[in-house]
């Protein structure tokens, strides 16, 4: 928090004192979420709490419940909870599965591992296809396992679209094709917590049964809202699902949502913010939003390469548009670098998680983010590398600027044609 000390302390110091209790300028929050909340969204939330059973709220809720479908690219219902993405993970499982059901999951990183742990706590059996934390889920491996499951013991396949701990994207459309090619009836459940509104995602086209989302990343909101986008098959699965559920149950939500209401108290002010965020994404155009994120990701990777460092995600086809994870040189800790950057340049970068602790730092470039913000971010990283004594080459920022200038010129030519 940027707060000074009390008046007596201030009075006892002269302007030349070395003690600094206020840092000028804004803090650079460049973790892969929560992301910076734009002023327009903040202003939308900055209002008296409304009657969530009244007509004014009802009008807004209907608009939000319709609008959010366009972000998931689905015509089917999207259930919105007051809760974190972890809650939406649980909701996806308890509404579709029964105790002892077998779930096939893929080890893409920290968050895939956490979803597995949650499933086991619920009384589900899990099978984890091992991964190296440098790639997304392998659709072919999933397909082969399903082909071997002749008795259809596997009831669901769970994958993370954009693994926030690694910066690798799973080709969800290919996973669906693999399930279909195996002739397997398993449900497809997908986590888009760090990709929704940042990386192209198509719930209906890719045949996803439950898509899990959260508010605090590409949707440009504070934490506090979570989402389940549903297929007809998922909705029908409720009838036979036997896992206990009450708060996370879809049935009452689906019954009340068409009229703009919720069975329990919704996060009213966050929903007003979501209304504004959906409007902003529509004004920019989802295609343009995705292209912007890809452009910034490409520029970031160019900077990393120019520094002589290595991007963690090993498959260029799976590079994330939302974040870039960077491997530290041998003998250097990422946490020490992050500490230097925070203290010297007032910028937060994402830490390495579990297996990657202190081995990587993560640059978030998602949400309400433009070219100048990216250049400021990369400038902070490059200065931090120098101050921390991390071996690197100069010129990362210039390499990123060249990518942005080239893409800008291409866009100008297209506009002129």
Calpha distance 171→314 (Å, rounded): 15
Q: Are 100 and 123 in contact (CB under 8 A)?
A: yes
Q: Are 77 and 238 in contact (CB under 8 A)?
A: no
* Residue 244 Cα distances to 31, 84, 90, 187, 226, angstroms: 35, 19, 11, 19, 19
Pairing of strands 154-160, 187-191: parallel
Calpha distance 372→395 (Å, rounded): 17
Task: Name the nearest CA neighbour of 210 among 180, 233, 179, 193.
Answer: 233
Reading the block at residue 177, the tokens are 């094709």
List, as own/partner pairs, every contact residues 152-155 make where C-beta atoms lie below 8 angstroms and the sequence separation is at least 24, other chains included. 152/184, 152/185, 152/186, 153/102, 154/102, 154/103, 154/104, 154/127, 154/184, 154/186, 155/96, 155/97, 155/98, 155/101, 155/102, 155/103, 155/186, 155/187
Task: Name the nearest CA neighbour of 212 among 195, 201, 222, 227.
Answer: 227
344 is in an annotated binding site: no
Diameter of the chain measured on Cα atoms: 78
Instruction: Using CA atoms of 32, 303, 315, 86 in order, give the dihedral in degrees to the nearest 10.
Output: 0
Q: Are 91 and 100 in contact (CB under 8 A)?
A: no
| Burial letters 114-133, b for 16+ CB under 10 A, else e | bbbebbeebbbebeebebeb
Which helix or strand (DSSP H or E) is residue 96 part of?
A: none
Residues at the binding site are 362
Residues at the binding site for substrate are 362
């Amino acid at each position: 928090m940027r707060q000074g000390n009390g008046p007596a302390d201030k009075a006892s110091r002269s302007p030349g004192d070395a003690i600094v209790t206020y840092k000028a300028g804004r803090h650079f929050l460049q973790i892969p979420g929560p992301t910076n909340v734009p002023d327009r969204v903040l202003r939308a939330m900055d209002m008296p709490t409304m009657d969530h059973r009244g007509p004014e709220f009802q009008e807004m809720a209907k608009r939000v419940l319709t609008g959010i479908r366009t972000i998931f690219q689905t015509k089917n219902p999207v259930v919105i909870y007051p809760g974190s993405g972890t809650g939406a993970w649980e909701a996806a499982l308890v509404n579709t599965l029964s105790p002892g059901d077998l779930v096939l999951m893929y080890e893409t990183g920290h968050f895939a591992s956490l979803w597995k742990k949650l499933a086991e706590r619920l009384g589900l059996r899990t099978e984890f296809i091992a991964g190296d934390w440098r790639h997304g889920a392998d659709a072919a491996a999933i397909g082969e396992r399903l082909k071997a499951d002749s008795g259809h013991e596997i009831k669901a396949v769970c994958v993370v679209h954009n693994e926030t701990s690694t910066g690798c994207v799973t080709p969800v459309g290919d996973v669906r094709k693999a399930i279909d090619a195996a002739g397997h009836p398993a449900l497809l459940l997908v986590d888009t917590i760090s990709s929704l509104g940042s990386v192209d995602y198509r719930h209906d086209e890719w045949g996803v049964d439950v898509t899990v989302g959260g508010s605090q990343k590409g949707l440009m909101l504070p934490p506090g809202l979570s989402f389940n986008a549903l297929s007809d098959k998922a909705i029908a699965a409720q009838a036979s699902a036997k896992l206990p559920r009450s708060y996370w149950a879809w049935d009452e939500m689906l019954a009340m949502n068409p009229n703009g209401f919720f069975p329990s108290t919704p996060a009213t002010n966050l929903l007003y913010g979501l209304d504004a965020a959906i409007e902003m994404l529509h004004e920019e155009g989802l295609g343009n939003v995705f292209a912007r994120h890809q452009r910034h990701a490409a520029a970031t990777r160019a900077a990393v390469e120019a520094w002589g460092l290595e991007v963690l995600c090993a498959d260029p086809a799976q590079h994330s548009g939302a974040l870039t994870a960077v491997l530290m040189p041998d003998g250097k800790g990422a946490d020490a670098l992050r500490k230097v950057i925070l203290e010297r340049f007032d910028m937060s970068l994402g830490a390495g998680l579990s297996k990657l602790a202190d081995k990587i730092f993560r640059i978030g470039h998602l949400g309400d983010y433009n070219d100048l913000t990216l250049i400021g971010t990369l400038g902070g990283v490059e200065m931090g590398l120098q101050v921390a004594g991390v071996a690197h080459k100069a010129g990362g920022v210039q390499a990123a600027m060249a990518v942005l200038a080239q893409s800008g010129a291409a866009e100008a030519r297209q506009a002129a044609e």
